[in-house]
């Protein structure tokens, strides 16, 4: 990480925290802070991505605004976190896309939908595009050929995975000397990731809109995370059905791809809409309002991806199926394109930070400290 104003501010605030230690039991950040006497830019990037923004420390801090010191750890670490996304983005220079993330998401969604619509019209003609089709095997491929779906989908998603991996590698290297990752540390980190443990703050939940504790944010994140994973599982199951079992889409309502996709889509909608609504009722004190546009844009794109999939499930077999399928695939394509340059990268970096924290904690125990 480069030295920036946010890095300097974070260093100052965490030095104060290290002297005070009132919040040491609040989350994973403060025990990790206590292992350090000095904070490099890489250390601060690691700690910023370890922070889940539960805001407990903000309301507990005696030096928070309106105190003249103005200690605001959640806001400062959120700024450092956003800078780290841009710093580690791959390929080099792509980090500038984070500065206009809302515009990027909107443009990608519009262009992706337009591209899929044009492909649909070119491959099958406009007349066939609005024709009702019986729900027989391969009906979706009369709208867009299977090869086109596979080529575009694999290329865009493959690029996103490579970009995310390279960004995570840059983050890991910058965070300091490599930690020894044992099986125990791996399971601890996996547990923390899958349960979203640190969105529970010190155990009572996050301070969402005030000093009151709530598990609302954690539950909504669970809905979004597991909804997304179920939708991904539905796609993978459909691939297995088509490629290995010779059963092309669309599938009947009680099939595994449809059940996984429907449940996942509903959970994803609940999670994203709930988190979107929270953006406008949260206390602005510990937030970074300049990041709001990009955060809202990716939530809306996720919600529209889920909504369009559920609409497709309802209208398939009608004259609206061609349009619904094209719009849904357009949203999915846009999601893949912007994935490495949106707030979605926080899941990758935060998981890496939790793994490093678990390894540090194991080393501390083994060292008898």
Is there a contact between 104 and 338 (Cβ–Cβ < 8 Å)?
Answer: yes
* Residue 251, both tokens: 């599938």
pLDDT digits (tens, 9 = 90+) for 238-253: 999 998 998 998 899 9
| Residues forming beta bridges with residue 214, ordered by sequence position | 206
The confidence score (pLDDT) of residue 369 equals 47
* Residue 269, both tokens: 């909608």
Round to whole Å and give the CA distance between 250 and 141. Answer: 9
Round to whole Å and give the CA distance between 367 and 305. Answer: 48
Which bin fits 55, alpha (ψ -120 to 50), beta or left (φ > 0)? left
What is the distance between the terminal CA atoms of the chain, rounded to a whole angstrom? 29
Round to whole Å and give the CA distance between 339 and 161. Answer: 9
The confidence score (pLDDT) of residue 125 equals 65
Could you tell me which residues come within 8 angstroms of residue 223 by beta carbon, excluding any fewer than 6 positions away?
267, 268, 270, 271, 274
CA-based nearest residue to 192, from 59, 19, 361, 351:
351
CA-based nearest residue to 143, from 335, 310, 330, 301:
330
Round to whole Å and give the CA distance between 346 and 52. Answer: 10
Round to whole Å and give the CA distance between 269 and 219. Answer: 13
Is there a contact between 44 and 10 (Cβ–Cβ < 8 Å)?
Answer: yes
Round to whole Å and give the CA distance between 70 and 107. Answer: 38
| Peptide bond between residue 250 and the one before it cis (omega within 30 degrees of 0) | yes
Dmax (CA) of the chain: 74
The confidence score (pLDDT) of residue 126 equals 64
The confidence score (pLDDT) of residue 238 equals 93
pLDDT digits (tens, 9 = 90+) for 1-14: 899 999 999 999 99
The stretches in the chain having pLDDT less than 70 are: 124-129, 364-369
């Amino acid at each position: 990480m480069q030295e920036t104003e946010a890095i300097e501010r974070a260093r100052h605030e965490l030095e104060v925290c290290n002297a005070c230690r009132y919040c040491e039991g609040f989350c994973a950040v403060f025990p990790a802070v206590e292992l350090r006497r000095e904070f490099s830019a890489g250390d601060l990037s690691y700690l910023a991505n370890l922070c889940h923004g539960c805001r407990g420390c903000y309301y507990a801090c005696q030096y928070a605004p309106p105190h003249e010191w103005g200690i605001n750890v959640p806001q400062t670490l959120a700024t450092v976190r956003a800078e780290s996304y841009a710093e580690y983005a791959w390929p080099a220079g792509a980090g500038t896309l984070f500065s206009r993330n809302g515009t990027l998401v909107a443009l990608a969604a519009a262009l992706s939908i337009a591209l899929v619509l044009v492909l649909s019209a070119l491959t099958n003609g406009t007349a066939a595009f609005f024709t009702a089709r019986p729900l027989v095997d391969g009906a979706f491929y009369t709208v867009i050929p299977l090869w086109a779906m596979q080529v575009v989908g694999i290329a865009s998603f493959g690029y996103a995975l490579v970009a995310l991996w390279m960004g995570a590698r840059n983050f890991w290297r910058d965070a300091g000397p490599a930690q020894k990752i044992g099986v125990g540390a791996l399971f601890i980190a996996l547990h923390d990731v899958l349960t979203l443990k640190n969105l529970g703050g010190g155990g009572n939940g996050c301070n969402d809109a005030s000093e009151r504790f709530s598990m609302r944010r954690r539950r909504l994140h669970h809905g979004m995370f597991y909804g997304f994973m179920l939708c991904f599982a539905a796609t993978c199951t459909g691939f297995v059905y088509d490629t290995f079992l010779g059963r092309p889409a669309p599938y009947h309502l009680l099939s595994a791809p449809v059940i996984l996709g429907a449940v996942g889509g509903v959970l994803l909608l609940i999670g994203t809409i709930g988190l979107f609504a929270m953006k406008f009722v949260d206390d602005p004190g510990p937030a970074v309002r300049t990041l709001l546009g990009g955060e809202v844009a990716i939530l809306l794109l996720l919600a529209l991806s889920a909504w369009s999939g559920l609409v497709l499930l309802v209208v398939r077999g009608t004259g609206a199926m061609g349009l619904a399928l094209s719009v849904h695939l357009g949203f999915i394509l846009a999601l893949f394109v912007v994935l490495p340059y949106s707030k979605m990268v926080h899941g990758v970096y935060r998981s890496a930070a939790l793994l490093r924290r678990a390894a540090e904690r194991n080393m501390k125990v083994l060292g008898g400290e």
